[in-house]
Amino acid sequence: MIKPMLLTLHRDPPVGEEWGYEVKYDGFRCLVFLDKDNITLQSRNGKSLNNHFPEIIDFLEALVQQDKLLQFIPLVLDAELTILTSPWKGNFTAIQKRGRTKTKETVLDLAQSTPATLLAFDILKASGKTLVSLPFQTRKAKLKEIFTLLDLPLSPNTYSSVPLQYVPYQLNGDMLFKKIKENHGEGIIAKKTSSTYQAGKRTPDWIKIKNFRNISCFITAYQKDNGYFHVAVMNQDRILPIGLFSHGMSSEERRALIAVVKENSKNEDNLFVYVEPGICVELYYLELYQGQLRHPEFRRFRFDIQVKDCTWNSLRSSNLDLPKSVQITHPEKPLWEEPFFSKLDYLQYLTEASPFLLPFLKNRLLTVIRYPHGMSGEKFYQKNRPDYAPEYVETSVNDGIHYIVCNNLETLVWLGNQLAIELHIPFQKTGSLLPCEIVFDLDPPSEKFFANAVIGALMMKEIFDQLQLASFVKTSGRKGLQVYIPLPEETFTYEQTRKFTEFVANYLVSKEPELFTIERLKKNRGTRVYVDFIQHAEGKTIIAPYSLRENSLPTVATPLNWSEVNQGLRPKQFTVSNVLERLKEKGDPFHSYHLKQDRQPFDKVLSFLDQV
């Protein structure tokens, strides 16, 4: 059994021409053994991961049958198994769930809903020849050569359907680390370009630097059996536990802290020494996960602050890791009163949802609805970029309007600080007159008739499946559903798509005239669901996936899996309180959206309609 080379943890990246830098992904370290008759995904501890990731095995089995690969096998790769949310970050929750799942049926479901990606960063053997004694940069060149020959992705790509991808290295560590921090990635890896591969050893040639944040908190207890210190922060008048730490302290610091805890103890039992809040410390941590610190480590004592300074809001602010270029004002401002939801809550949502939201905002003329006083105040639409907008806010001029184009996290957070709550986008990209998607809006007269929108969406799904069109569905964030069909860019006109949208709308009305209507006037619709096909036109907009909506609750226009579209679905069940956890647990139902665009046989559908 080959053991992987191990990393040494440092606080800061090493600097120098002899270093190369890679992204560190949250996932499972994996050695990949490829032979014509045997494929093994081996974990760091020597266990097989094959049964947990059948989609990877299926791909590799097909790959080893290709003539182009035969010359390189037996082949051994070092890689990370992860579930990408962006080229710089893996989904910690989702990959952990994949690793824990053992039921075959559930494994297959997760392989579809949250497919993994195998990110190869080193090569140990090719054509049966061991390469571990070669320098790192030589091995990387060989690995890239093979990936190029096989036409495999040469960088991590969330929009690629190919689950085996190459991890490049860069010589500018500062620029790479900045990108990782912007995307809340786990960290960076520095490797000496001259280093050999030392299997099973931890050496200073490979260094990991985690994207740590800082937080001040106070100690509540010392656990005697394992030496951990339990910590908390204040949430208004309540003590809120946030985790426990042990690492990062020198032996002198540990002895001093234990002594202080015992001197100030208020109670003690067989397991714990309890202490009144008062001993403040500063910790490093990786991220906040389900209200607890991930990988906390001691940084220093904080004798200069008090317990009241260690707050939940401070923790949440540090966890945001907001771009330094964005100035945040009045983070405590309430947007919703019940349940309470502040501007800080909104900014946290935007930063965490950004990997899923930004791809739909990219290169689109943005229309926003701003709520400067929250849901209880007045609102207004905004299209023009205001004069006071910072330089990083891009614009595109159309019909004399300088539209905002949200192509980066800074702009998204800046919009959040401006309390732009609703984000509406057109169906085409900037500079184009042709749609890159079709969206049907199923709009019932009230939530009472939402079940009929469900019926309509499922009827559409049946049509689209018969036409071999990939379709996606999301809640509108209010009382309806919206069904999407991605299209190849710069290919079809609105006149062509209108033939299709009108055909589908009329089909629903003809099949269920008591349930559906294409009547524009609300007063004439009665209780029927309005099938809005006219909205799909140049100059019209739709609410972006993962945008918030004006509502009694902070609801989200939420992408769904088609299996969720049933009579148990409710329009207000998806809010900011659960959508982020849902993304971590279930992944993004629109994860393959952009992969489907170029594969849609929409020209055949139009040919069929011309004959009808």
CATH number of the domain enclosing 157: 3.30.470.30
Task: Give the percent of the chain with pLDDT over 70.
Answer: 99
Say which residues have a Cβ less than 8 Å from residue 106's Cβ, sequence separation at least 6: none
Residues in the chain, overall count: 612
Domain count, the chain: 4
Beta strands in 127-197 (DSSP E): 129-130, 164-166, 187-192
- Provide the token pair at 504: 């589908």
Q: Taking residues 361-376, what's their average pLDDT? A: 95
- Provide the token pair at 494: 């609105």
Q: Taking residues 225-231, what's their average pLDDT? A: 95
Residue 287 pLDDT level (bands cut at 50, 70, 90): confident
**Which residues constitute the domain of residue 182?**
6-208
Is the separation of the CB atoms in 457 and 417 below 8 Å?
no
Of 188, 208, 228, which closes a domain? 208
Beta strands in 357-465 (DSSP E): 367-370, 380-382, 394-398, 401-405, 420-425, 437-443
431 inside domain: no
Quote the Cα angle for 149-152-154, to 5°: 100
Buried residues in 96-120 as b, exposed as e (16+ CB within 10 A):
bbbbebeeeeebeebbebbbbbbbb
Over residues 399-442, the pLDDT tens digits come to: 999 999 999 889 999 999 999 999 999 999 999 999 999 999 99
Residues taking part in catalysis: 24
- Provide the token pair at 612: 């009808």
SS3 (DSSP) at 62: helix
CATH of the domain at 451: 3.30.70.3300
Q: Is the model's pLDDT at 325 over the cut of 80?
A: no
- Provide the token pair at 219: 């100690």
DSSP for 542-591 reads EEPTT-B--SSS-BB--EE-GGG-STT--TTS-BTTTHHHHHHHH--TTT
Q: What is the CA radius of gyration of the chain?
A: 27
Residues 177 and 220 in one domain: no
Q: Is the model's pLDDT at 319 over the cut of 80?
A: no
Q: Tell me, what amino acid is at 381?
A: Y
111 inside domain: yes
What is the pTM (predicted TM-score) of this model? 0.81
pLDDT of residue 499: 93
Over residues 236-261, the pLDDT tens digits come to: 889 999 999 999 999 999 999 999 99
Is the separation of the CB atoms in 204 and 219 below 8 Å?
no
Of 370, 405, 425, which closes a domain? 425
Q: Is the model's pLDDT at 317 over the cut of 80?
A: no
Q: Is the model's pLDDT at 612 over the cut of 70?
A: no
Say which residues have a Cβ less than 8 Å from residue 398's Cβ, sequence separation at least 6: 365, 430
- Report the candidate in 184, 156, 152, 186 with the shortest Cα–Cα distance to residue 170: 156
279 inside domain: yes
Phi first, then psi, for residue 303 (nearest 5°) are -80, -10
Of 425, 448, 463, which closes a domain? 425
Residues 461 and 403 in one domain: no
Residue 314 pLDDT level (bands cut at 50, 70, 90): confident
SS3 (DSSP) at 17: coil
Helix (H) or strand (E) holding 451: helix 450-466
Residues 188 and 236 in one domain: no
Q: Taking residues 25-33, what's their average pLDDT? A: 95
329 inside domain: no
Residues 606 and 457 in one domain: yes
